[in-house]
């Protein structure tokens, strides 16, 4: 077998995509896959991972849980010293005027304020507390080329309950009312990212300690919450696909809505357009992950 891997392909620094990942990593069992895929994407210039809270409904220590899960993944990959990790907010914004300061919000501000013509992609796998807090703490970042890629919000055009949105509706409204560029992947789209147990066992489980853990924690989560299922939607992974290839799905520009407390869309037409993805190329995203993980292990767990 050839030793050639994606990690041997040269990407000039100026051509790489600037990326920060914000993740409620221990909320379910899919963030883990999207975290690993981001780390293993050599065309990304990964500036850091921000563990995020996921409310109090599942855990009273959700931010710490996300932090610990992020560090576990890095440890299993042998990369704990290679990736910057800065914790986000411990809780949701209390209203639309009050930011929740955190090292994660400060990381966003610091990276946004650097002199760099490339967009700064911030992939949100959970609530958007940290970008909205950063915006309130330093309004100048609104003009610094940030591109927010958010897994969240209900099906268009009506909306309704959606988990990531539910954990900070105020922050979502701050984001939607801003002038930041937003790419939204709503629930109706991210729920199509299904993979079966058979596929995961064949393609992920054999790939070192990290592959074994990714599959086992997913099986354990499903056994507790959905024991009838033999599949899981890797619903956070579209963030990676559409940063790699913005045409990795059908999308359209639509005036940004806001949200009421029942999480329905409010369409006033008064805010700038956002990009909404109606579908994504699941094959492109999943197969990219499977190949990168296999090549990472074949290379000896080194980037």
pLDDT, one tens digit for every residue, the chain (303 residues) = 578 999 999 999 999 999 999 999 999 999 999 999 999 999 999 999 999 999 999 999 999 999 999 999 999 999 999 999 999 999 999 999 999 999 999 999 999 999 999 999 999 999 999 999 999 999 999 999 999 999 999 999 999 999 999 999 999 999 999 999 999 999 999 999 999 999 999 999 999 999 999 999 999 999 999 999 999 999 999 999 999 999 999 999 999 999 999 999 999 999 999 999 999 999 999 999 999 999 999 999 989
The answer, as to whether pTM is greater than 0.75, is yes
Domain ranges for the chain: 13-298
Give, in order, the Cα–Cα distances in Å from 189 to each of 49, 136, 209.
24, 29, 30
Instruction: Return d(Cα 40, Cα 22) in angstroms, integer.
Output: 16
Distance CA 291, CA 236 (A): 18
Second CATH level (architecture) for the domain 13-298: Alpha-Beta Complex (3.90)
Q: Which helix (H) or strand (E) element contains residue 243?
A: helix 238-244
| DSSP states of 65-131 | HHHHHHHHHHHHTT-TTTS-B----SS--SSTT-----HHHHHHHHHHTS--SS-EEEEESS--HHH
């Amino acid at each position: 077998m050839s030793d050639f891997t994606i990690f041997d392909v040269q990407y000039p620094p100026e051509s790489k995509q600037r990326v920060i990942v914000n993740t409620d990593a221990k909320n379910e069992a899919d963030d883990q896959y999207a975290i690993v895929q981001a780390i293993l994407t050599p065309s990304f210039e990964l500036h850091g991972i921000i563990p995020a809270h996921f409310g109090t409904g599942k855990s009273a220590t959700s931010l710490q849980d996300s932090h610990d899960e992020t560090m576990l993944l890095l440890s299993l990959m042998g990369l704990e010293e290679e990736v910057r990790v800065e914790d986000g907010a411990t809780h949701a914004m209390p209203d639309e005027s009050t930011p929740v300061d955190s090292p994660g919000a400060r990381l966003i501000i610091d990276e946004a304020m650097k002199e760099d013509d490339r967009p700064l992609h911030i992939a949100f796998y959970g609530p958007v507390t940290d970008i909205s807090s950063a915006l309130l703490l330093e309004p100048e970042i609104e003009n610094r080329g940030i591109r927010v890629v958010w897994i969240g919000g209900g099906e268009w055009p009506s909306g309704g309950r959606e988990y990531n949105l539910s954990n900070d509706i105020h922050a979502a409204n701050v984001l939607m009312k801003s002038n930041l560029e937003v790419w939204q992947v709503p629930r109706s789209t991210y729920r199509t990212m299904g993979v079966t147990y058979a596929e995961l066992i064949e393609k992920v489980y054999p790939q070192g300690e990290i592959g074994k853990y990714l599959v086992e924690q997913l099986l354990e989560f499903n056994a507790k919450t959905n024991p009838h299922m033999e599949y899981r939607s890797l619903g956070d992974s579209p963030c990676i696909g559409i940063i790699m290839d913005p045409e990795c799905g059908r999308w359209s520009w639509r005036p940004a809505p806001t949200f009421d407390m029942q999480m329905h869309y409010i369409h006033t037409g008064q805010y700038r357009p956002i990009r909404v993805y109606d579908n994504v190329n699941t094959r492109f995203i999943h197969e990219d992950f499977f190949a990168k993980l296999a090549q990472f292990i074949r290379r000896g767990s080194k980037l």
